[in-house]
Amino acid sequence: MGSSTGNPILYTADGIPLKISLVRAQRRSKIIAFSMVLPLLIFILIAFLIPIVDMLLLSVDNSITKDILPKSVQTLQSWDETSGELPDEFIFAAMVEEIKKAKAAREHTKIGSRLNYESSGFSSLFRKAGRKVKKIKKPPYKEALIKSDKRWGEIKTWQVIKQFSTEYTDGYYLAALDFKRNPTTGNIESLPKKDSIYLKLFWRTMLLSSLITFLTFIIGFPLAYMLATVSTRLSNILIIFVLLPFWTSLLVRTTSWIALLQQEGVINDFLVLVGLIDNEGRLAMIHNATGTVVAMTHILLPFMILPLFSVMKTIPKSYVRAAVSLGAHPWKAFWKVYFPNTGAGIGAGSILVFIIAIGYYITPALVGGSSGTFISNRIAYHISSSLNWGLGAALGVILLGIVLALFVLYDRIVGIDNMKLN
């Protein structure tokens, strides 16, 4: 059959126009393809996106004070913290009432812990208040609460409670960058040098991770070149040794380096044996930055070799031979012809090693000591020990921001499309 314009309309065997049938077939193919990818998308959502969103929320969440002391927080809004006078009696009455309820629910220590992050002494203040308020039966509540602990009679105490009782806070991010908000003026101030640790840890993490990345490149490039240029049979045998660390526990590899690097370890014993050092001059190569760099360079070396090897295998050997045949010195031919073609592998390996390095915390914790720990060790401490999840989350978000910035920088310089990992 044909149309009135003379253009024929093709039909399928069941009488449906061919164009419509093709559209339906494409739609079905897209639905099938999406249904096959859907489990992976759900897994990514559950395993990656939801934890990241949760971390973002934790880094700004400050609802604990408002949830446990709602009446006190509300009444404090009418108090002028710059007046130089303590809050009125009804604010003290609300505080006593809610501390009693919090004590019964065993939540008064949570308030103390939260405010203690902003100003020291609040943890003990609320623990003591939980013990003392049960004796306060009748007004005046102001006198009774101050009598139980003189800190309730200090204006600063109430300024801190009011300042840090909002639903959301930037306090965790300020603390993560070695700043604090003055509870009296509300201004942002830098911490004293002796208390500033996080910027120092961030800087150390970036510096040591960069050094580890550079060392893995220096060691890994010639190894990858050898793997790519030898015979296939020999290359397959050697690649097993590259993959061997993946079959060995991380703790086993780390503890092996502890045995090698300690002052009574194998390396120091060998140096004493050959006479390079005496027994009194044994080298301190562990529980410092040296131990971290050595152990992590060994652990992360395969992540540099494999991307380099995958790129080098695709570079035709005839390129260098052609350059040499045209009169170039073999060394010059290598640097001018071969080396530029390995850029994608160098970029992929470097960013992979660097990103993994800045997030490592087990190896630095075991061999790093006080000068070789990373910011990741502090994050692990706040999550598992101090239970300051807000600060741990803020540090994690900043670290995530650094990683994303590196990806953007890599995309600008090399291009994500040029990344080759296999």
Of residues 251, 284, 280, the one with CA closest to residue 361: 251
Q: 331-357: b or e for each residue (b if 16 or more CB lie within 10 Å)?
A: eebeeebbeeebebbbbbbbbbbbbbb
- Tell me what the pLDDT averaged over the chain comes to: 86
Query: For 225, which DSSP code?
Result: H
Angle between helical axes of 89-104 and 141-148 (0-180°, round to 10): 60
Q: What is the pLDDT of residue 417?
A: 64
Q: pTM of this prediction?
A: 0.81
Please give the pLDDT value at position 152. 93
pLDDT value of residue 296: 94
CA–CA dist 293, 287 (Å, integer): 11
Domain extents in the chain = 1-58, 63-170, 198-418
Residues of the chain scoring pLDDT < 70: 1-13, 15, 414-422
Q: What share of the chain is helix, strand, coil (3-state, %, to 5)?
A: 70, 5, 25
Q: What confidence score (pLDDT) does residue 422 get? A: 52
Domain 198-418 has CATH 3.40.50.720: no
Instruction: Number of helices (H) and strands (E) in the chain: give both, helices first.
Output: 21, 2
